[in-house]
Structure 1
Amino acid sequence: MSTTQTPHATQGEQPEDTGAFAWLRALGPRGRRAFGGAFGGYALDSYDFFTLPLSMVAISAYFSLTSGQTGLLTTVTLVVSALGGVLAGILADRIGRVKALMITVVTYALFTVLCGFAPNYETLLVFRALQGVGFGGEWAVGAILVAEYASAKHRGRTLGGIQSAWAAGWALAVIVYTLVFHFLDPDTAWRVMFWTGALPALLVIWIRRNVEDAPHVAQVREAS
């Protein structure tokens, strides 16, 4: 009696990668670098966003703010981020995803740092609003960049991985906040927290050297 076995893959074919990180390996070298850039941008986006809520008690005492004023500071970034997302999407189509990503990261980093120099509430509010432009823009462009590298099969997991960067940025902000407010007076510590928002500048240098648009997207933009 003869028996037959159905192979998992025909001769000459590679078995399907079904591991837990198959979605990451499927991106390829360029895609993984794009993922790293977008993940870092989103994590630092989160970090810069949470510098304000974590420092709010000290800021409120420093400027003698009312509850309404603190509430406006908290929400203005999210409100303006909608505009940032729209503008970044237009920019990404015109100059490319990577260049738009770098611009948005520099934008939210710059205005986070400037928040630390604010001499009064009104200036802080303006800087925080302008930070929202970069905040919303990075959120949109980073996801687009990685989605164009991901296959349809793995796109959900890939973008889910990008979203997890938010928690990483939040955790980093809490650690830095704990250290800064432990060693410094609150009137100085809240400013230092904003100044640490310059960290994304290092990420921009890495993105500039290592990340590029998905080849098929770049070809379409050049042809148009």
Structure 2
Amino acid sequence: MSTGRWHQDITRTQWLVLAGTTLGWGLDGFAGSLYVLVLGPAMNELLPNSGIDTDGAAIGFYGGLTVALFLVGWATGGILFGILADYFGRTRVLSVGILTYAVFSALAVFAETWWQLGILRFIAGLGSGVEAPVGAALIAESWRNRFRARAGGVMMAGYAAGFFVAAAAYALLGDHGWRAMMLLAGIPALVVWFIRRYVPEPPEIGAHLQARKE
């Protein structure tokens, strides 16, 4: 029976895990949403450099290809990082994935052609795929109480929050151009410091990693 003091049933570690996974997923949504907002201006600049006329059909087609490459990377990264997390630990692999999508999203500032941007978006997608499987695993393994589903819901809501933050950033800073916006997509890299410092491995995963070392 509930005592009404729900917060007493939640440990500091559980709060830290929730904060780390929600921030990571939210900033994933932030970086991905920024790209959608700047896709048109980016294609307008990059297609002529690629020898392609910038008519509406071309912008839609090649812009759509870069989005498709990101989604293929996302699906591949979800499987890949999910497997790696079982061998090397949740927080370590989550950190590597976040760094991957943050760095390769920001590297889009150096793209000169649509296909260079497409390659960068594919690699960013690989890293982006880490959040859903590994973040969800961290929540499930750390929140071993009646609030587990709520914690998972909070984490998933982070992605939507990231979209609103991206929209606000674009409204305030969009005049600086699409490259400046993509540089902002590197902000999720800062979450890695928080995760590596404050988010522990679930006990059974930590024990497994220790046993492998021995």
Shorter-chain TM-score range: 0.7 to 0.9
8 Å Cα contact 2:40-2:63 kept in structure 1: no
State the shift of 1:60 in Å.
2.1
Matches within 5 A, 1:74-113: 74-113=67-106
- Aligned residue pairs: how many? 202
More off after superposition, 198-207 vs 56-65: 56-65
Give the structure 1 partner of residue 186 of structure 2: 198
Larger Rg: 1
In structure 1, distance between residues paired with 2:181 and 2:196: 26
Counterpart check, 1:214 vs 2:207: no
TM-score by length of 1: 0.84
More off after superposition, 201-210 vs 121-130: 201-210
State the shift of 1:18 in Å.
4.5
Residue aligned with 1:198, SS:
coil
More helix by share: 2
State the shift of 1:157 in Å.
1.5
8 Å Cα contact 1:88-1:138 kept in structure 2: no
More off after superposition, 189-198 vs 56-65: 56-65
Residue aligned with 1:178, SS:
helix
Q: 1:142 aligns with which of 135, 138, 143?
A: 135
In structure 2, distance between residues paired with 1:101 and 1:146: 13
TM-superposition CA deviations, 1:135-166 (whole Å, max 9, x none): 11122211111110112532221111110001
Q: Residues 155, 71 of structure 1: CA spacing in aligned structure 2 closer, same or farther, 3 A cutoff? A: same
Counterpart check, 1:127 vs 2:110: no
Q: Residues 128, 160 of structure 1: CA spacing in aligned structure 2 closer, same or farther, 3 A cutoff? A: same
Matches within 5 A, 1:7-86: 16-18=2-4, 22=6, 26-64=9-47, 65=54, 66=58, 67-86=60-79
Counterpart check, 1:178 vs 2:171: yes
Residue aligned with 1:170, SS:
helix
8 Å Cα contact 1:43-1:169 kept in structure 2: yes
State the shift of 1:79 in Å.
1.9
TM-score by length of 2: 0.88
State the shift of 1:192 in Å.
0.5
8 Å Cα contact 2:69-2:119 kept in structure 1: no
Q: Which amino acid aligns with 1:52?
A: Y
State the shift of 1:29 in Å.
0.6
Residue aligned with 1:116, SS:
helix
Alignment RMSD (CA, Å): 1.8
In structure 1, distance between residues paired with 2:109 and 2:29: 17
Q: Which amino acid aligns with 1:157?
A: R
Q: Which amino acid aligns with 1:121?
A: W
8 Å Cα contact 1:27-1:149 kept in structure 2: no
